[in-house]
Structure 1
Amino acid sequence: MNSSSVTLLASGNSLGAYIPAMHLHTYLQGRGVGTDVHVLENLYHEEVRNKILSTKKAFHADFSVARMGHKLAKPVDTSLDEEAVRKLLDTWKLAGVSRFAVFTGFWLPILERYKAVAGRPLDIRLIRLDAWDTPSFKVHKQLYLDYDNVWFYEPSKLSPSSYIASDEAEPLPYWQRAGRILIHGGGWGIGTYAETILELRTLGRILDVIVYDPSEVEEDDGVTRYFGTEASWNPWSQDAQGRHTFPPMVRYVREDGTLRKYPLRDYSAYTDLMRNCAAIISKPGGATLNDSLSFGIPFVMLEPFGDHELHNSTYWESCGFGIPFAEWRAQGFSERPLQEIYSRLLEQRSKINHFGRNIYAAENSSYV
């Protein structure tokens, strides 16, 4: 890796700290910029990684447990395998790694150690895809203030500065879309999203549902479609070439009680679903704000998870890019507010550039 390459530091703890990193990786690779993706959990002790899966199940099963877990967030130092950390730092130093895009604050103590031994100026940008501190940054506030924090959603401006996607394709015109509504609970399948599905199905709305577990798939009604992530995949796994990948997505169909799954060709097939939908219904996570802006999708927001998502919801609504689910219900689930939101998203999207174009495709850089 040369000095112009970019090292992307992600986490599997939240797909919101993984999927945007993979989008940026794909975008930069397509423009001849070298990238290397690291997922924090690969530095954990194995037993710690194993516990993550059981934690995800507990959070999915009970939103109140998830909210409590959010409040108890702490640094991950005790989870780290010291030998793996030292090996990574040595590899970076030997390769002359100097440019970083950081998607979770839990990497900061490791970066502090690298700054002390790198022996060269470092360009380290903290990618802030929420309108408030997420737990990973909140626990390291004494560190992150000394870094270049790139806030996509600066609350005082009500004007998002950039977006991240795998390409720069323009949002699909609203009138060309299929009118389907995409519903999900984020990477951990948490929140109140499941409660909205029956209500909207009863009203005859056309839904694409992203399930956390195949058991959530209902009998096929010829209208509602179900999708999910291949169960064997996790964000810290790597392919045969040692590379991180987008989650392999599948479509589920249950007929006469029998569940079948049909793999999508690649992750772009899933982003095509997003490009083509009339709205996203989910909790207001930062990565979903990015999807809303990237693809021009009106965001119908459910109950937030933590203070950062509460601020996200307030910010997106203040910008005119989203509407709380309860308010949309009060308006009779009308198409009109969604079309108005789409127009505002399209106007904002026309004023800004892809983050990768703004920063990494340019030759100039700033240093920490």
Structure 2
Amino acid sequence: MNSSSVTLLASGNSLGAYIPAMHLHTYLQGRGVGSDVHVLENVYHEEVRDKIRATKKAFHADFSVARMGHKLARPVDTSLNEEAVLRLLEDWMRAGVTRFAVFTGFWLPILERYKAAAGKPLDIRLIRLDAWDTPSFKVHKQLYPGYDNVWFYVPSELSPGAYIASDEAEPLPYGQRAGRILIHGGGWGIGTYAETIRELRGLGRRLDVIVYDPSEVEEDDGVTRYFGTDASWDPWSRDAQGRHTFPPMVRYVREQGVLREYPLRDYSAYTDLMRDCSAIISKPGGATLNDSLSFGIPFVMLEPFGDHELHNSAYWESCGFGIRFAEWQARNFSEHLLEGICTRLLEQRSKIKHFGRITYAAENSSYV
């Protein structure tokens, strides 16, 4: 790696701080800009990583537990393996790393150490894909003002200025889409999405459901499709070439009680589902706002998880890019309403550029 490369600092604790980093990595690699992804959990103690898996299951099982856990967020200092941190800092020093895009605030104490050791200007951008502080940044309020905070969604400006995706493909016009609705509970499978699935299935709507666990897959009805992440994958693992990857996705089909799995060819097959859907239903996480904008998908928003998602929901609704599920329900699940939202999204999307193009591909650096 050289000084013009970009080091992307992600987290596997939340796919919202992992998938956008992987999209940016893919985009930059495709345009000849060197990039490397680091996942915070790889500098954790192993027992902490094991605990994350257990916590995810608990949060998935009970949304009230998830909300309480959100309120108890703390800095991750005690989770860090000092030897692993020192190896990482030495690797950066040896490689002369100077450019960072940071997708979670929990990296900030490590970056503070690198800034002190580097002794030269560094280009460090904090990627803020929410309209309010997420827990990872909130716990480091004393640190993040000293960095270049790149807010994608500024409440006083109802027009997002950029998006992040693996490419710059244009969204499909609404009339050319398959008319299916994509439903998920975010990377941890949390929220009120399960009740929503039952209601919409009862109305005969065509759904693509992203399940957290295969046990959620219902008997095949010829209309509802189920997808999920391969259970053996976690975000802090690397492939045989030592690289981080998008989650391997599978399609699930349950027939006469027997569950079968059909691996998708790659992650782009999943983004094709998003590109082709008429709406996405989920809690209002920042990465899903980005999906909504990137692919021009009307966002039907479920109950938010934490203050940042409450602000996200209010912002997206104010922009005219989404609607709360209860409101859509009250409007008889109007297709015409979704089409109007899509029109506004496509209009905004036509005015903006990919974050990687305007920031890194253009070699437009600022320093801290």
State the TM bucket, normalised to the shorter chain.
over 0.9
Distance (whole Å) between structure 1 residues aligned to residue 363 and residue 352 of structure 2: 19
Amino acid aligned to 2:65: V
SS in 1 for 2:350: helix
> Matches of 2:323 and 2:89 in 1, distance apart?
44
Name the residue aligned to 1:213. 213
Structure 1 equivalent of residue 278 of structure 2 = 278
SS in 2 for 1:33: coil
- 3-state SS in 2 of match to 1:145: helix
Aligned to 1:82: 82
Task: Tell me the residue number matched to 1:338.
Answer: 338
For residue 296 of structure 2, what is the aligned residue in structure 1? Answer: 296
Partner AA of 2:270 in structure 1: Y
Following TM superposition, by how much is the alpha carbon of 1:232 offset from its aligned partner in structure 2, in angstroms? 0.5
Residue 150 of structure 1 aligns to a residue whose secondary structure is strand
Matches within 5 A, 1:23-42: 23-42=23-42
Residue 365 (structure 1) shift: 0.7
Greater alpha carbon shift after TM alignment, 356-365 vs 286-295: 356-365
Answer whether contact 2:358 2:364 (CA < 8 A) is retained: no
Aligned to 1:13: 13
Whole-angstrom distance in 2 between the partners of 1:363 and 1:236: 29
* CA shift for structure 1 position 363: 2.2
Which runs of structure 2 are paired with 1:122-201 in the superposition (5 Å)?
A: 122-201=122-201
Q: 1:286, 1:198 → 2: CA distance? A: 25
Distance (whole Å) between structure 2 residues aligned to residue 79 and residue 202 of structure 1: 45
Hey, what does 1:2 align to over in structure 2? Answer: 2
The one-letter code sitting in structure 2 at the alignment partner of 1:164 is I
TM-score (norm 1): 1.00
- Offset at 1:364? 2.7
Distance 2:324 2:47 in 1: 39
Aligned to 1:63: 63
Give the TM-score, by structure 2 length: 1.00
Tell me how far 1:119 sits from its aligned partner. Answer: 1.9
Deviation (angstroms), 1:130: 0.1
Given that 2:7 and 2:36 are in contact with CA atoms closer than 8 Å, whether structure 1 keeps it comes out as yes
Cα distance per residue 1:207-239 (max 9 Å; x no partner): 000000000000000000000000000000000
Residue 36 of structure 1: how far off its partner (Å): 0.6
Within 2, Cα distance between the matches of 1:25 and 1:348?
A: 24
**Does the CA contact (< 8 Å) of 2:4 and 2:99 recur in 1?**
yes
Q: How many residues align?
A: 368
Is 1:328 aligned to residue 328 of structure 2? yes
CA distance, structure 2, for counterparts of residue 128 and residue 268 of structure 1: 24
Give the corresponding residue for 2:43: 43
> What is the rounded CA distance, in whole Å, between the counterparts of 1:210 and 1:60 in structure 2?
13
1:16-54 CA-partner distances (Å, limit 9, x unpaired): 000000000000000000001000000000000000000
- How far off is 1:161 after superposition? 1.1
Superposed CA offset, 1:325-359 (max 9, x none): 00000000010110000000001001110000010
The residue type paired with residue 192 of structure 2 is T
C-alpha RMSD over aligned residues: 0.4
Q: Which moved more, 1:320-329 or 1:356-365?
A: 356-365
Letter of the 2:136 partner, please give it: S
CA distance in 1, matches of 2:243, 2:108: 23
Match of 1:348 in 2: 348
Structure 2 unaligned runs (5+)?
Answer: none
Aligned pairs (5 A) from 1:95-110: 95-110=95-110
CA–CA separation in structure 2 for the residues paired with 1:217 and 1:316 = 30
**Partner deviation per Cα, 1:304-337 (whole Å, 9 max, x = no partner):** 0000000000000000000000000000001011
User: Partner amino acid for 2:328?
Assistant: W
Q: CA deviation at 1:96?
A: 0.3
C-alpha separation in 1, matches of 2:193 and 2:77: 33
Q: Indicate the SS of the match to 2:228.
A: strand
**The residue matched to 1:142 in structure 2 has which SS?**
coil
Separation in structure 2 between the aligned mates of residue 146 and residue 364 of structure 1, nearest angstrom: 19
Q: Percent identity?
A: 87
Query: Please, which runs of 5 or more residues in structure 1 have no aligned partner?
Result: none
Measure the CA separation in 2 of the matches of 1:284 and 1:187: 12
Q: Distance in 1 between matches of 2:298 and 2:352?
A: 18
Local SS of the residue matching 1:333: coil
Once the two structures are TM-superposed, the CA of residue 150 in structure 1 deviates from its matched residue by 0.1
Alignment match, 1:319 = 319
Give me the whole-angstrom Cα distance separating, in 2, the residues matched to 1:77 and 1:67: 22
Amino acid at match of 2:114: Y
SS in structure 2 of the partner of residue 141 of structure 1: coil
Q: CA deviation at 1:362?
A: 1.0
Secondary structure, counterpart of 1:219 in structure 2: coil
Secondary structure, counterpart of 2:125 in structure 1: strand
Task: Please tell me the residue identity of whatever aligns with 2:343.
Answer: S
Distance across 2 between alignment mates of 1:275 and 1:63: 29
Distance 2:84 2:327 in 1: 49
